[in-house]
Amino acid sequence: MSLPTDILAKRVKNEIGECKQEFEHFFNVSGAGLDTFPVTIKVTLVNTPGPVMKDGQLKSRYNHKLQVTITEDYPYQTPIARWRSTIFHPNIMPPRDGGYICTKLLDEWNFRSNLPSFIRGIESLLLNPNPGDPYDNDTCTRAAEYFHTHPYNPPTVEPSRKSHKKPVIISNNDKDNQGNEKKS
């Protein structure tokens, strides 16, 4: 089952518009006229902390890239999402491993689901890794093992609408800017 192309195009255009209004993230849409499907949306999440492992230390990265593909079967079919930037997460495969994203949003997807709720879910997943249900691949398994003993406490950032600047950290949960425990 699928929507007529003109109705689908209008729905997707509206949802992309909602995303651009609601989020400071960047959305680059292939085929801006939305007259043919699939449509590819390159999303850059901005000022959204997410875990990365660098030089053996957990750090927070604030900008992340993913690619979302909307097929002609949307919204009956989930968007196809692939991670495109460095990540150390039990539920998100790095790009070299396929970039798959494991989220309940995709399992619970239905006709009423939409792109803004999907993006909010991705933001939440970045902040809340679930080590109890990792992807079965080496990187995700290592991330799960790490997060079982070291909970991810991302810094709290002050949102800055449509900014290219580095986020202002307003709370770092007793960690320095490198993600290390502060010395008392």
Residues 63 and 45: beta-carbon distance below 8 Å: yes
Residues 179 and 57: beta-carbon distance below 8 Å: yes
Cα dihedral 77, 78, 81, 87, rounded to 10, equals: -150
pTM of the model as a whole? 0.82
How do residues 33-56 score in pLDDT, each as one tens digit? 777 899 999 999 999 999 999 999
How do residues 81-101 score in pLDDT, each as one tens digit? 999 999 999 999 999 999 999
Query: Would you state the pLDDT for residue 179?
Result: 47
For the chain, the domains span 5-171
Query: Would you state the pLDDT for residue 161?
Result: 52
DSSP 154: P
Which SS3 state, helix, strand or coil, does residue 22 take?
Answer: helix
CATH domain 5-171 topology: Ubiquitin Conjugating Enzyme (3.10.110)
Query: Would you state the pLDDT for residue 169?
Result: 47
Query: Would you state the pLDDT for residue 21?
Result: 95
Query: Would you state the pLDDT for residue 106?
Result: 81
Using 50 as the pLDDT threshold, list the residues of the chain that sit under it: 163-170, 174, 176-184
The token pair that represents 14 in the structure block: 């509206």
Spatial separation of the C-alpha atoms in residues 79 and 5, rounded to whole Å: 16
Query: Would you state the pLDDT for residue 178?
Result: 45
